[in-house]
Amino acid sequence: MIRLRAMLSTTAVRLSALYLGLFALCAVALVFYVTSISVGMQHERIQAVIGSELRIIGGAYRSNGIAGLVRSIERRARQPGGNLYAIASPTGELIAGNIAAIAPGVLDAEGWTASPFRYERIGDTASDDHQALAQVVFLPNGMRLMVGRDIGEREQARGLVRQALVTALAIMFAGALGIWFFVGRRALKRIDHMSEASKKILAGDLSQRLPVNGSGDEFDRLSLSLNTMLGRIERLNEGLRQVSDNIAHDLKTPLTRLRNRAEAALASDGGPEAQQQALEQMIADSDQLIRTFNALLMISRVEAGSSTAQMSQVDLSGLAADAAELYEPVAEEEGISLTADIAPGLTILGNRELLAQALSNLIDNAIKYAGDGDAPTINIRLVREKGMVRLSVIDNGPGIPADRREDVVKRFVRLDESRSKPGTGLGLSLVQAVAALHGGSLELTDATPDAEINPGLAATMALPGKT
């Protein structure tokens, strides 16, 4: 009973009931309309037949008088069919015709009978029941002539239509009940499965997904949308967990070093010079921590889209050229050859400061890792391809393995597990966030795919360009 009540409360069942009621109402109205039209047409046909018979009989009467009229009535009364003929005396006694008895009062008024009347035909049994319509004519000698037609065919047609209507409504009702049971039970079962999965998700198991049966209906579309949302929430939670772990790992060491240096400075007898040196080292460590937190704040703000209000037309060609000029002396100090291939006149709608920061991060990473190889080189390249502006920083260093490229854009993830090189592991995360803010993406590929050693890295920001 509970499941039946729940099934009857579903939208599918309610819509089915509404459509069934509306269809049944329209069907009844249509049947009554068709029936009334059919009855009206049959009534007109009966009147036409009776009028034609009266004209023929009237001709016999005018030609041969009463005797001719009776002969014509007797002859026509013996013919098969639904026509009725009767001649009655002024007192209403039947003299000739094919009617054995007639309802009282039918022959009392001249003209068309107001409504169908009952009669008995000659040769009928007691169980026979007939109705007819007729026209009564008063003759000059007081006798009455009646010509009519049985309406059994009309009533039979009306009965058939009514029976067909009742049968059709019964079939529709039975079919609707079956559809209600099938659709409602199926919908309720799917909702139960979704509710069970939702309970597990609410309990903390974000790996659960709402069921999808592949039918492509509204339940599948809803489940797919919610599953996509759950997948993103799961990834965000996993990223938050990883960020928390990485923050604890990456910040614990500098904080511990900062505390140890302060403690050592307090316990040292090296004099003011030693204490000043310790304070300078502590300030450097504090600056590194501040840079880390600033990077985190910037990534969060970029991902939240807080900088979208500061969008303007940016000369990306000029920005890339300025970055190349700025970093060329830095690269030379590290023994790296820095070149630039920049297409002129390329502009995009974006935030100049964020784009400059992202490009600086890419060049910093290239300088940091390209110097490990022989004859290290860095190339800054800006081109337009297929409606996109592609800003690349390409080096010939060790590169990034293909199976680690999704990891390196996560916060605090570094390929240098020993942390021997400076950095926070936030550079590529910021670049990816900036690219996404501008409607683009960050692509990491091998600079020289065929190289077995030092394939290099091509880090490219693909951004929608102004046409």
Residue 428 CB-half CA count within 13 A: 24
Q: Give the residues of the chain that fall short of pLDDT 50.
A: 418, 467
So what's the pLDDT on residue 325?
A: 92
Q: Looking at residue 423, what is its pLDDT?
A: 57
Quick one: pLDDT at residue 418?
47
The predicted pLDDT at position 296 comes to: 65
Which residues have C-beta within 8 Å of that of residue 208, sequence separation ≥ 6? 197, 200, 201, 230
pLDDT at residue 92 in the model: 81
Q: Given this model, what pLDDT does residue 465 score?
A: 75
In this prediction, residue 434 carries a pLDDT of: 86
Predicted pLDDT at 389:
93
d(CA 70, CA 401): 118
Query: Which pLDDT tens digit goes with each residue over 281-333?
Result: 888 778 777 766 766 666 666 666 655 557 788 899 999 999 999 999 988 98
Is the Cβ–Cβ distance between 393 and 378 less than 8 Å? yes
Sheet of 457-464: strands edge to edge?
337-342, 377-385, 388-395, 457-464, 441-445
Which pLDDT belongs to residue 4? 59
